[in-house]
Structure 1
Amino acid sequence: MYRQVLDPLAGSLALSALCAAVPLLTLFVLLGVFRVKAHIAAITSLVLAVALAVGVWGMPLSQGLSGAAEGGFYGLFPILWILVNALWIYRLTEITGWFGVLRRSIRTVSPDQRIQGILIAFCFGALIEALAGFGTPVAITAVMLIAVGIDPIKAATVALVANTAPVAFGSMGVPLTTMAGVTGLPLEDLGAMAGRQTPVIAAFIPLVLVFLVDGKRGVRQTWPVAVVAGLAFGVGQFLAANYVSVEVTDIIAGVVAVVAVLGFLRVWTPGEIQQGTQVPAVAGGSVDSEAEGTAFDAEMRRRETGEGSALMAFAPYLIIVALFAFTQLGPIKDWLATNGVHQFTWPGLDVVSPSGKPASAMTFKLEHLKAAGTILLAAGLITMALYRVGPGRAVRAYGATLHQLRWTVVTVMSVLALAWVMNLSGQTATLGTALAESGEAFALLSPIVGWLGVAVTGSDTSANSLFGVLQVTAAKETGLDPVLLAAANSTGGVLGKMISPQNLAVAAAAIGMAGSESTIFRRVIGWSLGLTAAFAVFIYLQSTPVLGWMTI
């Protein structure tokens, strides 16, 4: 049995925390400063984390390697399982020519790229996050943004930043449900508190998006619609989280935002329209040369002119939403939870926390039927039939997708292996505990702990599982509100998602530019740090009489 130690380095928590930060700092410095390819940076940081786990924290090498294997497998399933199938669906639209129709159809809603960015990445992305999560919205919306002519790197950046607002309530409220489970706090209270925090983030995100698309000019010319989108989404989140249900908060907020934006566009248009240009195919795909006759001619015509039914062009994404919604129906959801999940203890691990409780990361939950990737695979099969893509062409498209993602597979598996080693060895707990030693000022650092957890794991759910108890314990020791800090862990954590190497890899792969993670990282790191700092001040003020009236 391996028992985690919080202060292994000379009995000093501060020195141990600095040591624990080395793998993460190495990863981000290699990406952001030296522009090292993501898979090399991830493998380097993983080796460092294993060395520190064994050499400093005293974890047996066999358990360190077993933990790395568990994290790597989690990267493969469900993360990469989602990404592969999402991009396969995109490739089906590309080889059949329907991607060109999609491009034209999106432009008919609004010809302005900045407004398209809000509708696609912010509004539609929130609906996908509400149902799926785990990187699915980033992969899908990045491709759709390229469809309207936005530069690939810019599209990835916009998709990542937009994905912050809905994450705390994503996947039908799983992050907050997890937080309630590990802390024992009422889910309704956590949801209500988060619903009084995330709208502050949501209100500003559309303004950031139009800035990313078109700089200061974009904000100056399109701020009215950005404000409408942000406020509508925020109000929707607040009302749903406090008076309806945690599970449907993002669905309600996303729908409210879409209706508000479309309604506003009926009475307002920007003084100057920014239209995009044709962008090359994301996945490097083209119409299959083996297609023959009228089917091939129809595909070529759709590619060149964008002729075709808008409903057919949007069909794959409507199918995705419909399937995810179907799996959330009571009887279906219960059946999948019973028959579509296999839970087991990962072999080779025997780890307990400093308090002597078994580490939760030892238990692996394999959701084979209810996994988002499996649902996306089903959507792809339906798309095959709808677009009349033969099995041979579909298999070749799937193979091409796997080849495109070969280095992304290495990156994601290495990053998740790094996260699991740090979690199981106690390195992440050391970092969080060191921050929790700040006394009443911990209200300022509470969202930063959540940000750290998501930056490491790429998941708000994982960060809540990792730091939920720590937040509640620190709150009780310092006389702060446990519900406030537990919710802040989740809401602050969402701002770390855009810089998580796992999500950077998903974004780079989605735009067909695996290896560009360092470029995307440099585009988003400033926004992540700046928004987190501002949000930390906001949470601190909620713990004082200044904004205490906002708490439940």
Structure 2
Amino acid sequence: MQWTQMYTPLGDHLLLSAIAALIPIIFFFWALAIKRMKGYTAGLATLGIALGVAVFIYGMPAEKALMSATQGAVYGILPIGWIIVTSVFLYKITVKTGQFDIIRSSVLSITDDRRLQALLIAFSFGAFLEGAAGFGAPVAISAALLVGLGFNPLYAAGICLIANTAPVAFGAIGIPITAVEGPTGIPAMDISKMVGRQLPFLSLFIPLYLIIIMSGFRKALEIWPAILVSGVSFAAVQYVSSNFLGPELPDVLSALASMAALAVFLKFWKPKTTFRFPAEQEAAASLEKQKSESEPTYSGGEIFKAWSPFLLLTLMISIWGIPSVKSALTGHYEGTAVWLKWLNAAGEKLTFAPGVPFLNNQILHADGTPIEAVYKLEVLGSAGTAILIAAVLSKFITALSWKKWGAVFGETLRELKFPLLTIASVVGFAYVTNSSGMSTTLGLTLAMTGAMFTFFSPVLGWLGVFITGSDTSANLLFGNLQKITALSVGMDPILSVAANSSGGVTGKMISPQSIAVACAAVGLAGKESELFRFTIKHSLFLLLLVCIITFLQHHFFAWMIP
């Protein structure tokens, strides 16, 4: 039996309905920020509350609410959980085989300053992974690398989440931008141009902000030339590529430019003092002595071999991110290339999309449009599979036996059982929120801000990414609402839709699934509340900046709108 969504279930009172829709979100904030629950406990409890609101307030049939939760849980395991498992697995292979000691030494040969390491790995390398793969891979890999270098796990996870702000809108080969063209009818190139005239301001600021968080303002000033090189190179290429090439390559090109520029710069410039975290200061003197006396030297071949697992990862996820290859891997490619035809045949066999019982086309939008609901099981096309292939190839490079390779994989699964439960529950919560109409209720409420919508427009994107964990999903969820509201208040819809994407990037660092992914990657399972408390203030501050930028572009710098 079909069921039609109601966005004002409490009579015609939109505000009261919005308060009801906020109950699960407020609970989640309280559970993590105040009560400090373990992530899987908070996730499961939030999912239960969302189901209760959906059934008893929104009138959603219980079986549809439950099946919506299962749809989200399945998506949480594949592809998101699969990416985390394979990312952590690859990292553990390098640790178990001793290759990470060589990686650590090679990074230290460039710089042993924690501030500069964060710029290289969290900001630049993380942005490259975001552009190529998206989902949880950037934070999982870059945070694990920082922990291996000696960073405190909480700091490593938090810094990588904040650094991930700059590239999210153009992540996974520009999918957030290209996806929103469909529901809004606005050309993706126009949205790309507008986002490319907002985010570079953040991209220029984020490196400085990261270092201030790590070491304070005075210590940040000590390396201002490196911060400037990192931020300016990234922001400049991000602007040029988004405005003249399109939404597919800004992250990849910006990240490569930033990494190369900073690495070359550090060949000619060094900070006067080397920054380490407080816990490292006591051992700093003996560490320097030990380093000078017994630090082994490695050949270029040994360093290349040590980095090869991550070079293979970069190569594989870059190939997986090529649109034609991605389509073939998921069984949707139509073309003439023989090898792509072969991939397409393999993709068809390994891609399953069964309809969700009691849910597929059984929920109707308020306008009567049915909502498709399928279990999207794309095994071959998942970035996690690309990382697994890198792990298989790394087994041969590092001379790891199949027995030990399998043992490391089993160890990884055991370590990640609770993080996977957390991810499944919070993504299930997101799907229930969307299917029941709660997300739309909140969006409609924000749209009532009238003339001030020019300021609050990015908040919709922030809210959408917090709920869904994805800038793409937030754009699909609220993109058309942004356009309709903008036209009603005299705002250019290109600006409002772009603001949805730009505002969304600031919500990624507090999204429940992002928190779970980051904690899983650095071994902080059960301490999601600590990471949430670390990132929430930064998320709100950066959101405020995007709101101000959007407001100014509408009222004073309209010439910046394409």
- Structure 2 length normalisation: TM-score? 0.91
Q: Show the 5 A alignment for 1:402-441.
A: 402-441=413-452
Match of 1:550 in 2: 560
Single out whichever of 329-338 and 1-10 deviates more from structure 2.
329-338
Residue 489 in 1 paired to residue 500 in 2? yes
Match of 2:222 in 1: 221
Q: Is the 8 A contact 2:130 2:137 kept in 1?
A: yes
Amino acid at match of 1:86: S
Residue 220 of structure 1 deviates from its aligned partner by 2.3
Q: Is the 8 A contact 2:72 2:424 kept in 1?
A: yes
Match of 2:405 in 1: 394
Gapped runs of 5+ residues in structure 1?
280-302
Q: For 1:276-335, what per-residue CA distance to the aligned partner results, in whole angstroms no more than 9, with x for missing partners?
A: 7999xxxxxxxxxxxxxxxxxxxxxxx995857111111111101111222345653442
For the residues of structure 2 that align with 1:26 and 1:306, how far apart are their CA atoms? 53
> Residues 329 and 414 of structure 1: is their aligned pair in 2 closer, same or farther, counting only changes over 3 Å?
closer
Residue 58 of structure 1 deviates from its aligned partner by 0.4
Q: For 1:83-130, what per-residue CA distance to the aligned partner results, in whole angstroms no more than 9, with x for missing partners?
A: 000000011111101111111111111121101100001111111111
For the residues of structure 2 that align with 1:304 and 1:407, how far apart are their CA atoms? 38
**Root-mean-square deviation over aligned CA pairs:** 1.8
SS across alignment from 2:358: coil
Q: For 1:70-94, what per-residue CA distance to the aligned partner results, in whole angstroms no more than 9, with x for missing partners?
A: 0000000011000000000011111
Residue 359 of structure 1 deviates from its aligned partner by 2.6
Single out whichever of 215-224 and 4-13 deviates more from structure 2.
215-224
SS across alignment from 2:370: coil
Which residue of 307, 310, 316 maps to 1:317?
310
Match of 1:475 in 2: 486
Q: Is the 8 A contact 1:35 1:518 kept in 2?
A: yes
> Residues 428 and 328 of structure 1: is their aligned pair in 2 closer, same or farther, counting only changes over 3 Å?
closer
Match of 1:88 in 2: 89
Q: Show the 5 A alignment for 1:34-433.
A: 34-275=35-276, 309-329=302-322, 332-337=325-330, 338=332, 339=344, 340=347, 341-349=351-359, 350-359=362-371, 362-433=373-444
Residue 59 of structure 1 deviates from its aligned partner by 0.2
Gapped runs of 5+ residues in structure 2?
281-293, 333-343
For the residues of structure 2 that align with 1:537 and 1:329, how far apart are their CA atoms? 35
> Residues 328 and 151 of structure 1: is their aligned pair in 2 closer, same or farther, counting only changes over 3 Å?
closer
Q: Is the 8 A contact 2:143 2:518 kept in 1?
A: yes
For the residues of structure 1 that align with 2:464 and 2:456, how far apart are their CA atoms? 13
For the residues of structure 1 that align with 2:544 and 2:277, how far apart are their CA atoms? 34
For the residues of structure 1 that align with 2:83 and 2:519, how far apart are their CA atoms? 15
> Residues 168 and 527 of structure 1: is their aligned pair in 2 closer, same or farther, counting only changes over 3 Å?
same
SS across alignment from 1:524: helix
Match of 2:285 in 1: none
For the residues of structure 1 that align with 2:279 and 2:529, how far apart are their CA atoms? 25
For the residues of structure 1 that align with 2:375 and 2:399, how far apart are their CA atoms? 38
Residue 345 of structure 1 deviates from its aligned partner by 3.0
> Residues 334 and 429 of structure 1: is their aligned pair in 2 closer, same or farther, counting only changes over 3 Å?
closer
Amino acid at match of 2:329: L
Q: For 1:137-184, what per-residue CA distance to the aligned partner results, in whole angstroms no more than 9, with x for missing partners?
A: 000000111122211111111111011100100000011111112212
Residue 264 of structure 1 deviates from its aligned partner by 2.8
For the residues of structure 2 that align with 1:484 and 1:358, how far apart are their CA atoms? 29
For the residues of structure 1 that align with 2:425 and 2:38, how far apart are their CA atoms? 13
Q: Is the 8 A contact 1:32 1:521 kept in 2?
A: yes
For the residues of structure 2 that align with 1:503 and 1:83, how far apart are their CA atoms? 11
For the residues of structure 2 that align with 1:212 and 1:438, how far apart are their CA atoms? 33
Match of 2:286 in 1: none
Single out whichever of 205-214 and 267-276 deviates more from structure 2.
267-276
For the residues of structure 2 that align with 1:103 and 1:468, how far apart are their CA atoms? 43
Q: Is the 8 A contact 1:149 1:277 kept in 2?
A: no
Residue 227 of structure 1 deviates from its aligned partner by 2.4
For the residues of structure 2 that align with 1:152 and 1:328, how far apart are their CA atoms? 29
SS across alignment from 2:506: helix
For the residues of structure 2 that align with 1:382 and 1:22, how far apart are their CA atoms? 47
For the residues of structure 1 that align with 2:279 and 2:319, how far apart are their CA atoms? 35
SS across alignment from 2:376: strand
For the residues of structure 1 that align with 2:465 and 2:323, how far apart are their CA atoms? 30
SS across alignment from 1:196: coil
Amino acid at match of 1:23: P
Residue 364 of structure 1 deviates from its aligned partner by 4.2
Q: Is the 8 A contact 2:15 2:445 kept in 1?
A: yes
Q: Is the 8 A contact 2:494 2:561 kept in 1?
A: no
For the residues of structure 2 that align with 1:193 and 1:366, how far apart are their CA atoms? 34
For the residues of structure 2 that align with 1:20 and 1:261, how far apart are their CA atoms? 46
Single out whichever of 211-220 and 165-174 deviates more from structure 2.
211-220
For the residues of structure 2 that align with 1:330 and 1:171, how far apart are their CA atoms? 10
Q: Is the 8 A contact 2:75 2:376 kept in 1?
A: no
- Structure 1 length normalisation: TM-score? 0.92
